Structure 1
Amino acid sequence: MAEKSKLLVLRFFWLCLFGLFAQQIQAQEIEARAYSNAPINMNFLTGGIAQAKSGAYTITTEAASLTHVLDVFGQSGRLTLVVPFAQLSGTGSVGGQAINASAEGLSDPMIKASVNLYGAPALSIEQFKGYEQDLIIGASLAATIPWGQYNNSQLVNVGANRSVIQPGFGASKAVGPWRLELAGMASIYTSNTSFLGSNTLTQNPIYSAETHVIYYFPNTAWISADATYFTGGQTYVNGMAAGGTQENWRFGTTLSYPIDKQNSIRLTGSTGIYSRTNTDYNAVGISWQYRWGGWP
């Protein structure tokens, strides 16, 4: 009976931290302007830091990303690589048992390919000056690479020892200085066969839908109000259910402000307003973006 209780404690604690970790590191965060147009051969280099807190636990992530805009059969597309480094810490109590969380290291990198299927023609930087958005429809496919630091003898890690594959689809509609966006995504998980030793952790897909209302200022700064909904993601250990289906509602905001023609700063914040499985967290972040290229 004691061993069974211990396993239940571990399952519950894992679900809480996994929900926090997966949404923060595996791109389940709210992302405005996922489907937009930019001149082909433009490059974006971004570096930033974000922190998320859930109860007594905190995860801090520093990340660098590189995006290249390219021509995909006459429409613009993007290739993005994200490399994160994370620190997880906190001390809490679950079922009367003290749980200490401490992990630091490289998290799982992510590679993402997206293509605009309609409304975002591939344009040079000179041609782009005359472009005005109407309706954009696009699709994307992202995947994490399980290169992050992972120790199968501890419960909490900054690497997941498995991949997450994320197909997505979305649309963006321009109405004067406003952009109205709607997107959906599925997160499909491979198995971790080294969970707490030689156990096998599996998880059902998480399905998400998000919407954004964005306003552009005359100086190209923009601000958005964001909302997202997640459902699914029940986990299993060796085929036995380790928790219920997740269901989460989150709201957030993003502000992007240009420093000059090549540099901009971005501030983000989001909070959970409902969570069926107690995986709520509050998150804030700041990043700096440098762009160059756009040659013919």
Structure 2
Amino acid sequence: MGTVSNASRRIGYLALLGLGLTAEGAFAQSIEPRNYSNAPVGMNFAIAGIARSTGGVAFDPALPVKNPDLRVWAGFAGYARVFELGGQTGRVDLVLPYAALSGTADYAGRVVTREQQGLGDSVLRVSYNMLGAPALTVPEFSHYTPDLVVGVSLEVVAPTGAYDDRKAVNLGSNRWAIKPEFGLSKALGPYSLELATAVTFYTTNEDFFGGSERKQDPLYSTQVHGVYTFAPGAWVSLSANYYQGGRTHIDGKAGNDLQENWRLGATVAMPLNRYQSVKFTASNGVYARTGNNMSLMALALQTRWGAGL
């Protein structure tokens, strides 16, 4: 019975694993549980999914527009690989979105209409668990019991998305964003509590709407998650995040768009088999100082392989 139990436990733990940058990761103001979970060294993950957002500007919440009524359908593909460094685990994630956007927003006192489809900005993230996530093989992982994990990450958003300087709203942002983050995860039996805090820095968009120069102050964020594992490989999380800062400057003039946003979300993950799982994510803005709230739903299929699985 011990062998069967260990095998079942191993499959259950492997089914828990997932890309941090999944359903919401291609969108701004994402809510991402289990970013600092452990996984066997050499394991690979591939993910494909769809997402839909309504309301605010999903890809760039600090655009200087008001009363946004935008709809975005996005497909996304991602890849991640677990590596070892100093006896602990790290992970490299890459997410590439393709989207279609339509709707209206107020800019400079007039209503603008926008329809666009194309690539979104790509996201590369490197994370490293400094404590509590030892480098393990798949057989060793079956005996691993999560406790306290302390990690850091660096996320880079590259300006690969579709962009037209004649339009105020775009899928691409035409600038780079760099986001260092510090995270904690504490397991309490079938429960785990997670906390992450980050700051996002932006380069200058020198070709903003009408040839203007757009700069943006750093955006500070905190997110918390409560995760409950209710069956082998099946879990649910309730999450909240808070963003503050990110005021924009157009041609040197500061905008009245200081961000102060609250969002709530939930995620459900279920295994299909040893190699695949599905994840559903939903989140909604609770409060936004600039009125730029959005709702988001996403469904993703994840496949894992390698490391002797």
Scaled by the length of structure 2, the TM-score of the pair is: 0.85
Show the counterpart of 2:290. 277
User: How far off is 1:88 after superposition?
Assistant: 1.1
Q: Say which SS state the counterpart of residue 277 (structure 1) adopts.
A: coil
After alignment, is 193-202 or 67-76 more displaced? 193-202
Q: Cα RMSD over matched residues? A: 1.6
User: How far off is 1:95 after superposition?
Assistant: 7.9
8 A Cα contact 1:26 1:164, kept in partner: no
8 A Cα contact 1:214 1:225, kept in partner: yes
Question: Matches of 1:93 and 1:179 in 2, distance apart?
Answer: 42
Q: Say which SS state the counterpart of residue 217 (structure 1) adopts.
A: strand
Show the counterpart of 1:45. 46
8 A Cα contact 2:260 2:288, kept in partner: yes
- Residues 86-165 of structure 1 mapped to structure 2, 5 A cutoff: 86-91=99-104, 97-165=110-178
Question: Matches of 2:161 and 2:237 in 1, distance apart?
Answer: 32
Q: Say which SS state the counterpart of residue 67 (structure 1) adopts.
A: strand
Residue 287 in 1 paired to residue 287 in 2? Answer: no
Structure 1 letter corresponding to 2:235: W
How many equivalent pairs are there?
Answer: 274
Residue 36 in 1 paired to residue 49 in 2? Answer: no
Q: Say which SS state the counterpart of residue 139 (structure 2) adopts.
A: helix
Structure 2 letter corresponding to 1:40: V
User: How far off is 1:73 after superposition?
Assistant: 1.2
Structure 2 letter corresponding to 1:203: Q
Residue 58 in 1 paired to residue 71 in 2? Answer: yes
Show the counterpart of 2:259. 246
8 A Cα contact 2:26 2:76, kept in partner: no
Residue 76 in 1 paired to residue 89 in 2? Answer: yes
Between the aligned residues of both structures, percent identity stands at 40
Q: Say which SS state the counterpart of residue 149 (structure 1) adopts.
A: coil
In 2 relative to 1, CA 208–92 (structure 1 residues): closer, same or farther, beyond 3 Å?
A: closer
In 2 relative to 1, CA 180–186 (structure 1 residues): closer, same or farther, beyond 3 Å?
A: same
Question: Matches of 1:271 and 1:24 in 2, distance apart?
Answer: 15
8 A Cα contact 1:45 1:289, kept in partner: yes
Show the counterpart of 1:199. 212
Q: Which runs of 5+ in 2 are unaligned?
A: 1-23, 56-67
Q: State the 4+ residue runs in structure 1 displaced beyond 6 angstroms.
A: none
After alignment, is 50-59 or 199-208 more displaced? 50-59
8 A Cα contact 1:268 1:286, kept in partner: yes
Question: Matches of 2:282 and 2:250 in 1, distance apart?
Answer: 33
After alignment, is 229-238 or 194-203 more displaced? 194-203
Question: Matches of 1:24 and 1:210 in 2, distance apart?
Answer: 14
Show the counterpart of 1:8. none
User: How far off is 1:193 after superposition?
Assistant: 0.1
Q: Say which SS state the counterpart of residue 273 (structure 2) adopts.
A: coil
In 2 relative to 1, CA 199–98 (structure 1 residues): closer, same or farther, beyond 3 Å?
A: closer
Q: Which runs of 5+ in 1 are unaligned?
A: 1-22
8 A Cα contact 1:83 1:109, kept in partner: yes
Query: 1:9-28, CA deviations, whole angstroms, 9 ceiling, x for partnerless residues?
Result: xxxxxxxxxxxxxx974553
Query: 1:30-70, CA deviations, whole angstroms, 9 ceiling, x for partnerless residues?
Result: 00001110001011100111111115311122110000001
Q: Say which SS state the counterpart of residue 56 (structure 1) adopts.
A: strand
User: How far off is 1:153 after superposition?
Assistant: 1.6
